[in-house]
Amino acid sequence: MSEEKSLNFIEEIIENDLKSGKYETLVTRFPPEPNGYLHIGHAKAICLNFGLTQKYGGYTNLRFDDTNPVTEKTEYVNSQQEDIQWLGFQWKNELYASDYFDTLHGYAVQLIEKGLAYVDHSTAEEIAAQKGTPTEPGTPSQYRNRSIEENLELFAKMKAGEFEDGACILRAKIDMASPNMLMRDPIIYRIKHAHHHRTGDAWCIYPMYDFAHGQSDSIENITHSICTLEYVSHRELYDWFIAQLGIFPSKQYEFARLNLTYTVMSKRKLLQLVNESLVSGWDDPRMPTISGLRRRGYTPESIREFCERIGIAKRENLIELSLLEFCIREDLNKKATRAMAVLDPIKLVITNYDGDGEILIGENNPEAEDKGGTREIPFSKELWIEREDFMEEPAKKWFRLAPGAMVRLKFAYIVKCDNFVKDADGNVTEIHCTYFPESKSGSDTSGLTVKGTIHWVSTKHAKTAEVRLYDRLFSVVSPDAEEGDFKDYLNPNSKEVLSNVYIEPALAEATLGTGYQFIRKGYFCLDKDSTADHLVFNRVVSLKDGWKG
């Protein structure tokens, strides 16, 4: 009997709402701003919103909150759509806040006509001063008591483009003494003479997020508007607009956002890293963006599993990056084809091996249910092995190659180290071994036992590749909590490039989007920079959590 998973607090609310008949159909939405690429924090919100309608029926809308033309690009819209679909979800309706610009403008006019909104010519500094403090009430603007007729006329002039950016704004008239600072006559429209990625130059006034969001939810009959905890204080304003306009009462619910160690989640900071070329782009494999994780080699299944494991809570917490890495290891362990690659090569010569070589058979994945099949691996007299697998003066409990020591070559034979060659600087350049023909893997009759197994690649058959070893982008647990510029805490060793790695021939057929385990070295994937003549592999994650933070 499997233990039934307990409901999170949002699921409890939904089940009660559906059982009581409050709603016949569950409708959620995912509302990204098209001003950057989605990151792992958005993945949590995506899995929640789409996962709820998968579980309870109903549907999820994808609505782009495109109310700020200065920061928005079609590139971002396209990337966000791709990320959601890659994660395994599909929206019912693709919508935009800009679809509702006429309706939202009409709502603003309604508020003016009810005496609940006014045009204010105060400067940004004056408005900030008018707000007061959390312990002191605000002071009314000198424009607060303009007549309805004057406000309607001024708002029409704003829409017609008769004022410059910043000349005036439209504010809701609520309560300048409210304990909730957001209720102290919030701005609901501002002037921006900027080209919009969808509406072009049709508008020069744009609604603020707080004004557009709840009304867009209402227009779409969203039953459960789920957002992160920083919007708790916005809920009162969300409800106020809906109540004053008498429209469908969407309800807002808040959950804890994802905070991840060794990472920043602010789109502003991520954009800074991109614009200052501190990373190679939004999809740099070190970035916490979904496109960066995809390029790094993360799978949709591993990210969904991670989001499932961290759960939905009402309290903020900091999630260990190592949990995300655990999820991709678990997934790739079952999926990734095994292969051999030598990252730091040194030559091994089998002095008593004669002939042109032979073909050996290797398992593709012993952890897969069907074992993943087998592949042919060429073997010859001269091999590349890892430099770290030989020690001239072995330490205690050393089970790899050393003078007089024996080791098994993976899928091949047991060899014994007889001697080695050094260059003029004293560096070992070549290791000479003898092999035992009766010790062939799968048909060993030699009676020899060894404790160590190492990987190798035949020098005659090896292909070459570039390998990029990625690590945490930041060197401190919480860059946002540190003093000074967050960029001061970038990890200088977050990327290491190995330009001459030897790989077994099967890896020359590697495909994008497929995970590979380089035996004993970690999980890797082909990078989009690869060409037929120049293969590039990214390390997804090491075989074990070896981070020493």
Phi and psi for 93 in degrees, rounded to 5?
A: -125, 135
Q: Please give the positions annotated as active site.
A: 33, 257, 267
Beta strands in 451-518 (DSSP E): 453-454, 457-458, 463-470, 495-503, 515-518
d(CA 86, CA 323): 21
Helix axes 321-335, 300-310, angle to 10 degrees: 140
Query: Among 418, 452, 444, 405, which residue's Cα sits nearest to residue 350?
Result: 418
* Cα–Cα distance, 405 to 19 (Å, whole number): 71
Residue of 341, 335, 325, 342 whose CA lies nearest to 366 = 335
C-alpha span between 387 and 188 (Å, rounded)? 65
- Distance, C-alpha 170 to centroid of its chain: 37
Among 365, 338, 362, 337, which Cα is nearest to 440's?
A: 362
Q: Considering all CA atoms of the chain, what is the largest pairwise distance in Å, rounded to the nearest integer?
A: 101
- Interatomic CA distance for residues 430 and 104, integer angstroms: 75
CA distance 234 to 222: 17
**Residue 548: what are its φ and ψ, rounded to 5°?**
-115, 85
Residue 394 has a CB neighbour count (10 Å cut-off) of: 16
Q: How many CA atoms lie within 13 A of 544 on its CB side?
A: 3
228, β-bridge pairs? 255
How far apart CA 410 and CA 362 sit, in angstroms, is 9
DSSP state of 196: B
Residue 385 CB-half CA count within 13 A: 31
The answer to whether the CB of 159 falls within 8 A of the CB of 104 is: no
**Of 275, 340, 387, residue with least CA distance to 516:** 340
Q: Show the 3-state SS of 294-306.
A: HHHCCCHHHHHHH
Q: Residue 171 contacts by C-beta under 8 Å, 6 or more apart in sequence?
A: 117, 118, 119, 120, 141, 185, 186, 187, 188
